Amino acid sequence: MEVLEKEITEVQTDFVQLYKTTFPKVARYVGGKGGTLAEAKDVFQDAVVVYFEKINSEVPFLKKGDMEYIVGIAKKLWINKYREKNRLQPLEESYNTYFQKDESTVNTSLLLRYVEKTGRKCMDLLQAFYYRKLPMKDIAGRFGFSGERSATVQKYKCIEKVRDTIKAKSLSYEDFFE
Amino acid sequence: MRTSLNDIKQIEAHLLSKMSNEDALLFEAQLLLDNQLKENLLWQQKTYALVKLYGRNKLKEELEQVHQQIFNTQPTFRTRILSFFKKS
């Protein structure tokens, strides 16, 4: 557990910088349009996720253009998600261009909660590799493996474990996936 | 590595398009013949989707922690942010 906490602190240092420079701009925009702090926080977080997935690598913070990009996405998300909330037609379509629907269905969230309970350590390892795209060498260090090779083997073991959990759970509750 | 882990490695290479053309062809032929392999591929695909969702959630949690931390320790910053919003 100690290792995992260290990882979070390291990553946070970068996010503090990102947050302090970017969030005020998002907050000013949303506030100026009559939105709430909670809404500003929500679209800011989503925008960072979009940015993060776009750059597709470990946080190389932070160039000026990147900050503007995040603020731009946050504005767009807020307009789509909140400014139009009282209109008849929900404008979810453009929101979904950022977030593919099939990955965030209720059933998937349910399944995720189950997998988290049974194998959080594996999920942390897998997300460090596949989502955060950290180099295997760093992952080995952070998670306390003797080297890249054993971390790689563990990664495949984790895929197997999570896969089998998903399979077992999905077959017992067939409505997890349509 | 165990055979089952090697299968996972192969499936991954296939899903992430990291196979050579020759290997990819061979693998596709195997998929046609081996139902178990095909089924495993589908479950593995769902595994990656779930890892992605988990990664997203974790990222947002970390951002939320940063928000709380700064709001709680830096009153000037907090006041500045709050000034952007109308009191309700």
The per-residue pLDDT for A75 is 95
Q: A37 and B85 in contact by Cβ < 8 A?
A: yes
Q: Least CB-CB distance to B53: which of A16, A41, A112?
A: A112
The per-residue pLDDT for A171 is 76
User: Is 0.90 exceeded by the ipTM?
Assistant: no
Q: Which residue has the higher pLDDT, B88 or A157?
A: A157
Render A70-121 in DSSP notation, one character per residue.
Answer: HHHHHHHHHIIIIITTTSSS--HHHHHHHS-GGGS-HHHHHHHHHHHHHHHH
Whether the Cβ atoms of residue A112 and residue B50 lie closer than 8 Å to each other: yes
What backbone torsions phi and psi does residue A154 show, to the nearest 5 degrees?
A: -60, -35
pLDDT tens-digit readout, A71-108: 999 999 999 888 866 444 444 555 555 555 554 455 78
Rounded (5°) CA angle A32-A46-B47: 170
pTM of the entire structure? 0.82
pLDDT at A5 exceeding the cut of 70: no
The per-residue pLDDT for A3 is 47
In a 10 Å sphere around its CB, with 0-12 CB exposed, 13-18 middle and 19+ buried, how is residue B65 labelled?
middle
pLDDT tens-digit readout, A24-79: 999 999 999 999 999 999 999 999 999 888 876 555 555 667 888 899 999 999 99
Q: A116 and B54 in contact by Cβ < 8 A?
A: yes
Whether the Cβ atoms of residue B7 and residue B37 lie closer than 8 Å to each other: yes
Place of tokens 């979070």: A8
Report how far residue A99's alpha carbon sits from residue B70's, in angstroms, rounded to the nearest whole number: 28
The nearest CA of chain A is from the CA of B27 a distance in Å of 19
Return the residue in A130, A136, A170 with the most chain B beta carbons within 10 A, the one to mutate for interface testing.
A130
Contacts of B54 in chain A (CB under 8 A): 112, 115-116, 123, 126-127, 131
The per-residue pLDDT for A88 is 44
pLDDT at B63 exceeding the cut of 50: yes
Rounded (5°) CA angle A40-A101-A157: 105
pLDDT tens-digit readout, A154-176: 999 999 999 999 988 887 765 55
Q: Least CB-CB distance to A27: which of B56, B64, B81?
A: B81
pLDDT at A2 exceeding the cut of 90: no
pLDDT tens-digit readout, B3-62: 889 999 999 999 999 999 999 999 999 999 999 999 999 999 999 999 999 999 999 999
The per-residue pLDDT for A22 is 94
The per-residue pLDDT for A125 is 96
Q: Least CB-CB distance to B55: which of A12, A127, A159?
A: A127
Give helix then strand counts, H and E, for chain A: 7, 0
With b for 16 or more beta-carbon neighbours within 10 A and e for fewer, the A101-135 pattern comes to: eebbeeebeebbebbeeebeebbbbbbbbbbbebe
Task: Quote the tokens at residue A112.
Answer: 């995720």
pLDDT tens-digit readout, A93-149: 555 555 555 544 557 888 898 888 888 999 999 999 999 888 999 999 999 999 999
